[in-house]
Structure formats: structure tokens, C-alpha cells
A and B are shown apart, each in its own frame.
Chain A
Amino acid sequence: MSQTILEVTDLRKDYSQRRGLFSMLTGQGRVIPAVDGVSFYIRENETVGLVGESGCGKTTIGRTVLRLTDASSGRIVFDGRDITTLSRAELRPLRREMQMIFQDLDAGLNPGMRVRDILREALTVHERPSDAEIAGRIRELLEQVSLKDSKLANFPSELSGGEKRRVGIARVLAVRPRLIVADEPTSALDISIQAQVVNLLRDLQKNLGLTYLFISHDLPVVELVSQKVAVMYLGRIVEMGLAENIAHQPRHPYTGILWSSFADKETTEVTRRVRNVTVERERRAWGVFDFEQPTSGCRFAPRCPLYKDRGHPAVCTDPASEPQLRDVGHGHVVACHFA
């Protein structure tokens, strides 16, 4: 079994939000725990999918593990080394090993530079290769992302969405990373182009031995590319396990709801129950993204079909017993009292 490349323990990231003059003057503000005690690990050459609705903290996790933003607490270990509190200078050599693909197709593509110069810049950030080496590497990168040489002279604005994505990926590959956080890498693309990019990312993983943290709300794609999937809800991982188990035998009711959004999926017991959406439950759904009134106990309870079916058990809303992840076999973990 391959070794662990990234291990995250009890990661927390708070954002403080200040509103109005009073809180500005007094320095008091609300604290929003975007990521609230998350632990997981990724093995080398593996893909872990991270799914959940917007605002659940997926992107924040991606940014925090790469140290693009500082964690409030917790531990991030990359390749056996604790990087949680490394200084910028200490991080610099590690930056090339961990890269991010952003959702925004234009991210990292300087609009005033031609593709050739964008790639050249990426190749010379960490090293001082000769011109011949640069030319060779650019050729290699183009081949890796299947982009025509004729595009080298183009500015980003002259590229299609799919080509921009390929240049973005080539730019990331230029520094020969080991871990790539791919944050919604396909969601800005058309369906037919999405498939090309998904295939490309899988090829690159196979050929270059890359490790991915794959953040997406596109569940079929996540299931296809990932070995393991973590499902997030309001800053916490509520379920994690092998991709096929998460997709087909979800134990947490939220996972069931997420996957039931797809029409052609085989219906599992939970999803079937969830599909019978009653108006009443739907009504309950609207208060959910409200961090101002943290739910006591399980944070999914206000939306939970199980909570209702079981006649509102007290344990679900007991402030002293927020459900913790526990193993239900085969490394499948769930945070639900009734899973």
C-alpha cells in the first residue's frame, strides 16, 4: 500500500465577520467556522473527492491544506512534515510539490501574456533552466495536455474554455507537483469539454503518479475519478468512505439526499425515502445555512428525513452530543446517531 502524502488532523478555519460601526469599534464580530474540525488523509497516487453544497467549506479546506490561507487550528502534515506553521520562506520549496487548479478558467493566466510566456514563467519560478531545456519542457507540457503548438502564440483571450483549462493544467504541471488540489476543475466547461478534461486528469494521474484532492459538486464525476469520497456539511465531514459505498450505500441521510439529485441513479433505501419530499420537510430546509444560530446537536437535524421519521429523537438536538465520525466497517465513517 502506498504511503500517506497528506494528513489533516482536526483542521479548523474560522472567518470573522464584522458588521456595522459598533462591532468595528469594539472589535467584536461573529466568528464563522468555515471548516470545523476536519480530519482525513490522502495516500500517494490516490484521488479523494470532496463533495458538498456551496458554503460547506470544501474550497476552504483546499486552500488551507496548501497553506494559501492559514488554519485557525489543527495540523497539516505533507509528506511526513508538519507544514501547519511553516513560514513563507520555509514553504517556498514545498509550494512546487502542492498545486491548485482553480474553478476560474482565467485564474493564473495573465491576459497580457502569450501562452508560451505563461508556461515559461511557470518553468522558471523555481529553477533556472537553459533556453533549450525550457523549449523541451514546453513541448513536453503541450503533449501532456494535448494542446497544439500553434496555441503558444495566443493570448488567453484567444483561447476557448477547454484550451484555457489545458493551459492552466500545463502551468501547474510545469513545476512537477505531487499533490494537486483540483477545485471544481470542470464546472466552468461545457459537457463535451468536461469529459475531455476528466479523461486528461485521469491520464495525468496515471502517467505522472499525481495525487488529487478533487473538489466538486458533480457527483457522477467525483464517483468516477475518486477512490475515496468525503461528504461535507456545514464545515464538517459527515461521511467518508470508498467512492462506490458513498454513492450506492450511503449511510448518512445527507449523502442520500445529495446523490438522489440525480435522476438515473439506482435508488437506495435512503434515497427513495428522501425523494418523497414532503412540503413540511422542504420548509424546514430553508433555515440551514445560518451560522448565526448554530444548531444544537447534529447540524443536519433541521433538514434530516431520519430525524423526522424517528419522531424527533432528543439525542439529535442535544448540544452535548454532536454526532462524531465512527467506523461502520471497511474504513467507512459516518457522523450520525442512527446510521
Chain B
Amino acid sequence: MDAPLLAIENLRTYFYSRAKRAFIRSVDGVSLDVARGETLGIVGESGSGKSVTALSAAGLVTAGPGVISGRIHLHSNGAQRDLLDGLEKYARVTEQDGRVMAVEKDERGWRKHSEALMAGVRGKEIAMIFQNPRSALNPYSTIGKQLVETIRLHTSLKGESEARERAVHWLERVRIDSPRLRFDNFPYGMSGGMCQRAMIAMALSAEPSLLIADEPTTGLDATIQSRIVDLLAQLKTETGITTLLISHDISVIQRLSDRIAVMYGGTVVETGRAAEVLAPQAQARHPYTAALLASIPSAETIRRKSYLQAIEGEVLDTIEVPRGCRFYGRCNRVTEAIRESCAGLEPPLEEVAPGHKVRCWLYPAAGKA
């Protein structure tokens, strides 16, 4: 089998919170693969580490101490690189009882090193679209100019006029009306949905190997959201671009993803093919995924006007990581047989069916580890 385009291995990204005077283990040992041409959707609640995982992959984590350890292999255009190559020598973590006590990191050395590794990768090999597109576009420049700049910088089209033609082409591809007129528009004159389209055009115009879409529909109106999802689905079939999609909205993830990773408390708790993970009658499933799906009003719930199955308790803050399963405190499926394991030992992410992994003591496969 082909090597995955992106392979994240055991990524750790921590932040220091001054208010809480503690380290937050935002991403805490995440491993993920994105195969060529597929869309991997990461779903989770705020604080689950989904966005930080993506930002780490794009080398865009700015708060300290940031990325601590791990590997991010990118196999694109015949080249193979580890975007975190040589990181170990810059950072050292001291830990005690599930709490990070200190992180020594040579911030400047690491940044310099990382920038050298990311040169020619970010924007070119890995392009990103964000939530709130208006703030990601340059307000002082027309969208046409910004597109032309991207194209001349990242593709073989260096001439002004050919880049212009290509820019108009991309505006058309993202279904922007009268692209030649819109070319000279500034972002402030455009609606949120249109800005998001321009942003998508810009990301794709660099002809990247990997597109990271971080909450691409959040903050847009409901009808516009569904249009942007439609557009992303169309572009996916047209361009076959490999995508890492991050969203808290399960319906968006469901419509666009081939595979899904569910994150909780800085770790991946379940991953597998989208149809399997979100299937209404899944055989094996992480209790968190099940609870998350049950929190959304289903047609049945609405018809019977019954209660929503809420997940009790609060989203885990990842300052003090429990010894056992991170979801233990909120889990409603702990049985007496496994309680001891749940409370005392973090379950490994184990395969329960081909390509379907769950991090839970309920499934016997985990016990064999």
C-alpha cells in the first residue's frame, strides 16, 4: 500500500496557561494518517485538541511552549520529510503524577529550525483554510491581487497575465459570480460566504498536496454553511485533494469525510471509516462517540419529544490528566468488570475491526494489549 501523504506520530503540543499557572496538554500523544486523496475528519469539542493538531502539522503554533515531541511525516511530490525532524534536542518535559511540571524548550532555536523545515511546505505543500475567512484575508488588497500573489509564489506560473488568468479560473472553480468583476473587490465588500470561497480559491491555487480545513463553516449562516459544504464536496470530487478537515459539527464531518478521528482530552479515542464510526447501529464504538451522537436531536428524539442524552459533567481540562481513561469521569458505560482498568490505566487505541480503532476497555481487543 501507498505510504500515507501525512502521518502524524505521537504528537504532543502543550501550552502554558498563565491564568491557571499550569501546562495544558492540548495535544497529548496523537497519531493519525491521512492517505492520498482521502478526507480525514477530526471531530471533537472545544479543548479536545483537534485544531491544535492541525496547527501543529502546519507549523503554525505560536504560543509557548508549543510542539514538544512527535513526528510529522509528509510524503509529497516524491519527497519525504519529517516536519519535526530534530525537535528532540530543543525540548525537555518534566512530569509528575499526570501533571506537567516544567518544560524546557529552546524556543528560538526550535523556531529557526522549524522555519527551515517548513520553508517550501507551508502554503505550497500544505495549504489551510480557517474559520472566520475575513480576518485571514488581507483587508488592504483585492482578492484578485492576493490570488495572483499566491499563484506566482507557489506555482510555475510566474508571469503576471497568466497568473491573472489562473486566478480568475480559481474564482470560477469556487463558484464566485462574475469572477472578473470580483477580482477587484476588497474582502470588506464581500459576504462571509464569499470570503470563504475566496479563501478556498487561494488555498487551492497553490496546488497543495494537503488541504487543512479548520472549522471552514463555523460562524457562517446555516444556509451559507450548507453551500460551503456543498462546494467543498464538489471540489473534493473535482480535484481529489487530500484533506484534513477539522470541525465540531458532526453533520459537516459526516458529509465530507472518508475517515473520521474522534478526539477527546488531547487524544484520539476512536478512528475508522466514516460510515462505520457514525453508523447508527455500530457494533463497537467509544462511549464518547456514542454520547456525542446521542446529544444531537435525532428524528426519533424530536418526534417523541424525549430528552436528549446529555453527557454529564464537563469537558476535560487537560492540565491534570487522570491516570486511567480520560473519559472515565463522564462515561456511562463503565461495568464492574472493567472499572479497575478504566480508573487506573489509560486504554490503548486498539483495532476492533479492520481499520476501526477504539480506545476503550470495553472491547476485548484492548485487553490483549
Contacts and interface: CB of A to CB of B under 8 A. Distances in A.
A62 B292 CA distance: 31
Contacts of B255: 263
A261 B299 contact: no
A221 B297 contact: yes
A289 interface: yes
Interface size for chain B: under 10, 10 to 19, 20 to 34, or 35 or more residues?
Answer: 35 or more
A257 interface: yes
Interface string A167-204: 00000000000000000000000111111101100100
Contacts of B248: 190-191
A221 B310 CA distance: 13
Interface in B269-324: 291-292, 294-299, 301-303, 305, 307-312, 314-315
Contact of B254 (A54, A193, A263): A263
Contacts of B88: none
A40 to B, nearest CB: 21
B223 interface: yes
Interface in B198-235: 221-227, 230
Interface residues of A, number: 40
Interface in A232-281: 244, 247, 257-258, 260-266, 277, 279
B222 A258 contact: yes
A220 B302 contact: yes
A191 B175 contact: no
Nearest to B221: A53
A68 B162 CA distance: 56
A223 B191 contact: no
A302 to B, nearest CB: 12
A54 B226 CA distance: 15
Interface in B301-355: 301-303, 305, 307-312, 314-315
Contacts of A196: 310-312
B175 A54 contact: no
A46 to B, nearest CB: 13
A289 B191 contact: yes
B82 interface: no
Contact of A190 (B46, B175, B191, B305): B46
A220 B293 CA distance: 13
B222 A198 contact: no
Given A195-B311, A199-B310, A286 B191 contact: yes
B309 A195 contact: yes
- Which of B175, B224, B255, B295: most chain A Cβ within 10 A? B295
B17 interface: no
Contacts of A53: 221-224
Nearest to B47: A190
Contacts of B303: 244
Contacts of B193: 286
B45 interface: yes
A224 B302 contact: yes
Nearest to A259: B222
The 7 closest A-B pairs by CB, nearest first: A192-B311, A195-B310, A283-B177, A195-B295, A261-B226, A195-B308, A190-B45
15 contacts: A53-B222, A192-B315, A193-B310, A195-B294, A195-B295, A196-B312, A198-B308, A220-B302, A244-B303, A261-B223, A264-B298, A264-B299, A282-B175, A282-B177, A285-B227
Given A190-B315, A224-B308, A277-B227, 19 more contacts: A53-B223, A157-B19, A163-B314, A191-B292, A192-B291, A193-B314, A195-B296, A195-B309, A195-B310, A195-B311, A198-B310, A224-B301, A244-B303, A258-B223, A261-B223, A261-B225, A264-B251, A264-B254, A264-B298
